[in-house]
Structure 1
Amino acid sequence: MFNSEFNIFNFSLQIDCYISLMTDNTILEKIKIIVTPYVQRQEGLDDFDEKTDFLTDLEINSANLVDVILDVEDEFNIEIDNASMEGMLTAGDAKRIILTKMEN
């Protein structure tokens, strides 16, 4: 009994460590890779950071923004609800939503 409880604890600890290793920069880099195919204004990628606005800085149209969200869900193995979708307008918004969903 003790051994199986230890294994579950150890597995949980490994997952927590994995999430911790995924730094903010790693997540932002993955977001940048995800949005790149949909970007109409390539110069917007030069200064890509948390403040980068998907609609104005990168000129991603609203239809493609849905594709970005679907790609984010696939990449991070999460589900993004409608309320979170509406709030995902910048790279920083996306990062915060991803981290929140990964922790739950």
Structure 2
Amino acid sequence: MNRKFPNLWYFFLALENEMYLSAVKSILIMNKQETIQELKAIVKPYILNQEAFDLLTEDTDFINDLKINSANLVDVILDIEEKYNILIDNESMERMINVKAAMAIIETKLAEKSSESPEK
């Protein structure tokens, strides 16, 4: 640490951290938008409400908004499992009612999968 200008050192350290956090936030936002677009592609064959699909957000409900029936929702879940190479348990399936929940479950399952990977 520079003894003459300790505040300057802290300033640059804070600036570096701010830039890092900004970069991480940008990556997360980009990944969030990517995931939403990927989910849109997955659910598109099953939707009955095009207007809700066109306005899809994190809060869009698969059954109530997009009018996906329960049998097709199972197909959506299977397509998500295939797309992301994950397994979705029954408890997670029951929670997957909207885009936000689907994104959270995908993120959780991918994190679990990466933590289970054997170290080489």
- TM-score, length-normalised on structure 1? 0.78
CA–CA separation in structure 1 for the residues paired with 2:57 and 2:30: 16
Label 1:103 to 1:63 Cα distance change in 2 as closer, same or farther (>3 A).
same
Structure 1 residues 55-66: aligned runs within 5 Å? 55-66=63-74
**One-letter amino acid of the counterpart of residue 65, structure 1:** L
Equivalent residue number for residue 38 of structure 1: 46
Equivalent residue number for residue 16 of structure 1: none
SS in 2 for 1:102: helix
After superposition, the C-alpha distances for 1:37-71 in whole angstroms (9 at most, x for unaligned) are 00011111111110000001100000000000000
For structure 2, which runs of at least 5 residues remain unmatched after alignment? 1-27, 113-120
Return the structure number with greater relative CO, CA threshold 8 A, min gap 6: 1
Percent of aligned pairs with the same residue?
49
> In angstroms, what is the RMSD of aligned CA positions?
1.7
**One-letter amino acid of the counterpart of residue 37, structure 1:** P
Question: Which residue, 53, 78, 93 being the options, matches 1:70?
Answer: 78
- TM-score, length-normalised on structure 2? 0.68
CA–CA separation in structure 2 for the residues paired with 1:32 and 1:69: 13
